Chain A
Amino acid sequence: MASTEDKPTNKENTSSWKDSIYNPRTKELMGRTASSWGLILLFYLVFYCFLAGMFALTMWVLLLTLDDYVPKYRDRVPYPGLMIRPNSLDIIFNKSDTLKYEQYVKTLESFLQRYNDTEQEKNKDCIQGEYFEQNNNEEMTKEACRFKRSLLSLCSGLSDTNFGYSEGKPCVLLKMNRIIGLKPRGDPYINCTVKRETPIQMQYFPSEGRIDKMYFPYYGKKAHESYVQPLVAVKLLLTKEDFNKELSVECRVEGSDLRNNDERDKFLGRITFRIKVVE
């Protein structure tokens, strides 16, 4: 009892905030001596090294179970999303100001580099309208089907290097997300609409916005190195009345079993983007 009672008085005498950081009498830094600090830090060092080792071990076991070509589960990506190039959901530019639309043109141009005819010559010319399945061969690497940039004709950037931006009739490229093993049934094609009463004229390349089945299925990055996604280009044939107005364009993948009406995922098989051309 007595010893406990002595404590508070001692405390009052000796403790000050300075001492709690460094106490010169006991050589305590933050309440510990150097050897005490050393010991506890050493303990934690050893302990954490051990934990790191344990974690590394379990991660190593995890990586052993993984396949290099195909992820273990693909149920979270059953249907592909739809995206556009240029990579922006708000396309605004002045058709007479080169600087304003140059960025879009550049994105498109660089995106299409992989579709250059010289590149695509290496790929196989597959049979149209049929899945290009390559399950039979032993080899893991798969061949890809050819998708030439020239298929996009007016929007290929070959004839019109400005993709129609300078004349106020911009091209937008649409692509479906790559999903390993996806084989859409039916004949998928892209259809775009403008959300307003009077429709806008659009041109689709390839014709009718078709996506050919020969580009499916996809076998993954490692096996299918030279694979390129099929593209659909839409050229919005805007007229003078459409300039200076913000237009909301919605494109959907139609004609197949691919979902395009998911309530939550607004990019599943469809996309909505806004476009505004300033004169």
Chain B
Amino acid sequence: MGYGRSDSYRVATTQDKDDRSPKKKKGGTKDMDDLKKEVPITEHKMSIEEVCRKFQTDIVQGLTNAKAAEFLIRDGPNALTPPPTTPEWVKFCRQLFGGFSVLLWIGAILCFLAYAIQAATEDDPAGDNLYLGIVLTAVVIITGCFSYFQEAKSSKIMESFKNMVPQQALVIREGEKVQINAEEVVAGDMIEVKGGDRIPADIRVVSAHGCKVDNSSLTGESEPQSRSPDCTHDNPLETRNVAFFSTNCVEGTARGIVICTGDRTVMGRIATLTSGLETGKTPIAKEIEHFIHIITGVAVFLGITFFILAIVLGYTWLEAVIFLIGIIVANVPEGLLATVTVCLTLTAKRMAKKNCLVKNLEAVETLGSTSTICSDKTGTLTQNRMTVAHMWFDNQIHEADTTEDQSGASFDKSSVTWLSLARIAGLCNRAQFKAGQDALPILKRDVAGDASESALLKCIELSCGSVRLTRDKNKKVAEIPFNSTNKYQLSVHETEDPNDNRYLLVMKGAPERILDRCSTIMIQGKDQPMDEELKEAFQNAYMELGGLGERVLGFCHMLLPEDQYPKGFAFDTEDVNFQTDNLCFVGLMSMIDPPRAAVPDAVGKCRSAGIKVIMVTGDHPITAKAIAKGVGIISEGNETVEDIAARLNIPVSQVNPRDAKACVIHGTDLKDLSQDQMDDILRNHTEIVFARTSPQQKLIIVEGCQRLGAIVAVTGDGVNDSPALKKADIGVAMGISGSDVSKQAADMILLDDNFASIVTGVEEGRLIFDNLKKSIAYTLTSNIPEITPFLFFIIVNIPLPLGTITILCIDLGTDMVPAISLAYEMAESDIMKRQPRNPFRDKLVNERLISIAYGQIGMIQALGGFFSYFVILAENGFLPSFLVGIRLNWDDRAVNDLEDSYGQQWTYEQRKIVEFTCHTAFFVSIVVVQWADVIICKTRRNSVFQQGMKNKILIFGLFEETALAAFLSYCPGMDVALRMYPLKPTWWFCAFPYSFLIFVYDEVRKLLLRRNPGGWVERETYY
């Protein structure tokens, strides 16, 4: 039998057989297995009486109210259980304790612990650890709130998508038609639907009149499917006598018995499957986890080393523990959490401006890491609107314009044949524009009627002007609507010429059927007898258009002779009393759901960015392949196994599958594949199309790609896509045409339905990944000048060069804006020309970044800081040699006559002011060396001179951090508030040589890096 497809006209070339058994292929091992199985509906195979018996209903009377109420209580309301919404506080906690925050929490807890130890053992504990703990806590909470509100904002936009209008359904209960809320529909209810209605539940059709339903959101088929009471297929999804919940009835009327409601419907099962899927961590979350491991490793290593050293040096256990905690906490980059969050938010905002709405902040980067895109066809790659694509008349194929904005090529409209063809297409057509849309462009207008008739209507309206006028001029006298035995549609009209009393018979239908009824053919406006040559030409054209995946219609007409059919002749359409053969063949018109204009370009860009684009569709292989070729998913010159077989004229089995880069895989074949075969296909073919796939299979394809280590993006708009959308590393749903379920499941929504936005997403994602590296490199560098003072304080007993407060001023103050400004940095090279990053090798933070930041630049920075420290102490009387070992007396409050190198004596407070001045100077020095650091972090490979200083935010950041440092140092009252003291102007310049050294050193490094690609410098220092 056919293939559940609209049977009004046959696509000539679809020869595939399609019988999916309701049993299922191998599935995962999860408890979702049951849901992954195909639908267990059997009612379509039962007779109507059996169905009635099963649901204790009556075909005329419907359910009794009592029964309905009973069933309602038994089955619950006919509505999808909303996916378990996470309570707001859980979401908040997730922000508060997820990922990076954990590190800061541990830091904070360690701080409180250290303070507790100090408080318990010392009389007058230093408050530093307490303050640090409080600040860390505050940072986590504030950043948590920030990202929580950020995401809440996105979900608010999501809320607005929800369709709040309660649905109505027309049911027959106790013999009366009543309009009830769709939620109250129960299994066994008799339901009536008409064109324009949404089907309220899964129904077994009992009777139908020209009923067609749009299943595209469920199966991905772009054409409306007709519904009738007969069981046409074993598979409930394919059979014609079942209509599904939440699909739309496009035209006609139908009556049916409700067989499933709510979550038990096909749609409900998919929705439940979707919401039950576990999704993995986003790539960036994994990267941050890896980063935390590295940082923790470094922190613990340093901490333990110095703990042992402290014990060796004779400190007490408790002191050593305090040091240990201090060192570990000092490694925590306090400001980085906020920086990362802000950077991601900025990118999310930027993407939202380009119509990509990101639901989850971390998903911002995911598209950048994506290596495979599995795209749905209908509505995503295509416009989801049948459009006339080609015409064949005058023995020539003409191309029609299928672009959204009518920018495409035009064809010769002067031919008389074309005018005849247009007249037939306009007259033998029941579709019409809905009223009140005259102001809209033709393509945007809503049409009542069949999809292909609408396509014809629009095509004719566009090229020949008002169809209604033509119809008014040619009054319809009789009409035989389409039926599946005739496979044609005809109507008889009066002619335009009032003097001509002949009738015009116009007919359209399946091309081969139409041809059978024709004896002549119109060429250049003249009737010619149909000879073998022309028949051959017709066949070729028909095959060619069919091969493009287009639905082809044949058109013919006939001016009925006046002597046989005088004016007023009573045409009987039931018992045909007029000539319906020996007609004049006029031409073919073929229709397709054309690709969106921007898609081929976007696919090309994805491909050059090293991303594999796979088409996964519920539609037929021929159509899928045609569209795949049209948009470049199967690129020009690439052949499938079948193509090679056809070209070489050998059986498919003899072709080496390795020769074919492209392949089209049918859903029925897919379910027979083992996991290894599946992996083999995914690995060895670069251009893959999966056709006739069920939602469950889409999910399996995504899982297959992920198993091979790919980071998978799925784009889709239908309900059938939603499990795959959820499972994907990033699901991208369509904002306008997308179903609610798909939007719920997705991480990102393209508000303008433009596939090209994905390219933007990839670009932004890659850029933010690069820039986050830079931000992190910048932020981590200052960790070394922050930790080393404490280490030297412990080891050589010098007065503390840098205090906790000043460290916080750097991490949460001066470093913030420059670090964030790096998110605005432009790409160094064309990021869309390189391969996607390898999640196993290209880490956000790797040992090379740590080596550069900690081992090299950080060390130079630390020296700069220490130099200013020594300058200040020396100029105030404490020479460097004098400082070693001075710590115990220095920090003793009772020693108020500490002698310096010049014999002067200092009280505790006096020398502490000098010490805090040193802290301030050390702090200022870090700011100075961070100037150079932010400039070198702008690029990872290029010279700054190549990159330029075009980043205005960064320049602002430079001034901002300097101004902030000056403010903290010179603002009156800072000595009391933060214990920071004014510096003498010369002290600002102490770190200048080191700042300069950083710049020169890194420029040289990058020069070597560029000179010797793949060389030692690159292997050891390119992060």
Contact = CB atoms under 8 A, between A and B. Distances in A.
Interface of A: 1-2, 4-5, 7-8, 11, 39-40, 43-44, 47-48, 51, 54-55, 58-59, 62-63, 66, 69-74, 76-77, 80-83, 88-89, 175, 177-180, 218, 220-222, 224, 227, 262, 264-268, 271
B909 A221 contact: no
A89 B894 contact: yes
B681 to A, nearest CB: 12
Nearest to A269: B907
Interface string B895-920: 01101111111111110011001000
B897 A83 contact: yes
A221 B1016 CA distance: 55
B903 A180 contact: yes
B867 A5 contact: no
A36 to B, nearest CB: 9
Contacts of B860: 51
A265 B910 contact: yes
A139 B806 CA distance: 45
A71 B872 CA distance: 11
Interface of B: 371, 610, 612, 683-684, 686, 708-710, 838, 840-841, 855-856, 859-860, 863, 866-867, 870-871, 874-877, 879-880, 894, 896-897, 899-910, 913-914, 917, 984, 993-994, 997, 1016, 1020
Interface centre among A7, A51, A70, A222 (most CB of B within 10 A): A51
Given A44-B855, A265-B907, 5 more contacts: A74-B877, A76-B914, A81-B896, A83-B896, A178-B899
B870 A62 contact: yes
Contacts of B913: 76
Contacts of A5: 683, 708-710
Contact of B906 (A39, A177, A227): A177
A63 B874 CA distance: 8
B859 A1 contact: no
Contacts of B905: 80-81, 83, 177-179
B910 A7 contact: no
B875 A7 contact: no
B901 to A, nearest CB: 7
Contacts of A44: 855
Nearest to B708: A5
Contact of B840 (A8, A66, A180): A8
Contact of B841 (A7, A59, A177): A7
B1016 A39 contact: yes
Nearest to A88: B894
Contacts of B610: 1
B908 A267 contact: yes
B840 A73 contact: no
Contacts of B909: 262, 264-268
Given A4-B838, A7-B840, A83-B897, A47 B856 contact: yes
A278 B103 CA distance: 56
Contact of B910 (A39, A73, A76): A76
B903 A178 contact: yes
A246 to B, nearest CB: 17
Given A5-B708, A66-B874, A265-B910, A58 B993 contact: yes
A72 B875 contact: yes
User: Which 4 pairs across A and B sit closest by C-beta, in order of nearness?
Assistant: A221-B903, A81-B907, A177-B905, A265-B909
A94 B1016 CA distance: 75
B897 A71 contact: no
Contacts of A222: 902-903
Interface centre among B708, B870, B897, B984 (most CB of A within 10 A): B897
Contacts of A80: 905
Given A7-B840, A63-B874, A81-B896, A43 B1020 contact: yes
Interface centre among B902, B910, B993 (most CB of A within 10 A): B902
Contacts of A58: 867, 993
A3 B876 CA distance: 63
A69 B683 CA distance: 80
A177 B897 contact: yes
A35 to B, nearest CB: 11
A63 B914 CA distance: 19
A71 B910 contact: no
Interface centre among A47, A71, A180, A218 (most CB of B within 10 A): A71
A72 B984 CA distance: 12
A77 B902 contact: no
Contacts of A39: 1016
A178 B903 CA distance: 7
Contact of A70 (B684, B902, B910): B902
A267 B841 CA distance: 62
A69 B875 CA distance: 12
A71 B877 contact: yes
B840 A81 contact: no
B902 A7 contact: no
A87 to B, nearest CB: 8
A40 B1020 contact: yes
Contact of A1 (B686, B840, B856, B867): B686
Nearest to B860: A51
A74 B863 CA distance: 26
B907 A268 contact: yes
A224 B856 contact: no
Nearest to A70: B902
B730 to A, nearest CB: 18
A233 to B, nearest CB: 17
Given A2-B683, A51-B863, A81 B906 contact: yes
A262 to B, nearest CB: 8
A267 B907 contact: yes
A7 B709 contact: yes
B839 to A, nearest CB: 8
Contact of B838 (A7, A88, A265): A7
Nearest to A3: B838
B876 A71 contact: yes
A179 B874 CA distance: 16
Interface centre among B610, B874, B877, B913 (most CB of A within 10 A): B877
A51 B855 CA distance: 12
Contacts of A76: 876, 910, 913-914, 917
B632 to A, nearest CB: 17
A39 B1015 CA distance: 13
Contacts of B901: 71, 221
Contacts of A62: 867, 870-871, 874
A179 B875 CA distance: 15
A11 B902 contact: no
Contact of A55 (B855, B867, B875): B867
Nearest to A179: B904
B716 to A, nearest CB: 22
A195 B710 CA distance: 80
A77 B898 CA distance: 12
B159 to A, nearest CB: 39
A73 B984 contact: yes
Contacts of A55: 863, 866-867
Interface centre among B684, B875, B993 (most CB of A within 10 A): B875
A267 B900 contact: no
Nearest to A218: B903
Contacts of B875: 66, 71-73
Nearest to B855: A44
B612 A1 contact: yes
Contact of A81 (B684, B866, B897, B914): B897
A80 to B, nearest CB: 7
Contacts of A88: 894
A177 B1020 contact: no
Contacts of A89: 894
Contacts of A82: 896
B904 A77 contact: yes
A258 B897 CA distance: 16
Given A8-B709, A47-B856, A54 B997 contact: yes
Contacts of A268: 907, 909-910
B894 A73 contact: no
A81 B913 CA distance: 14
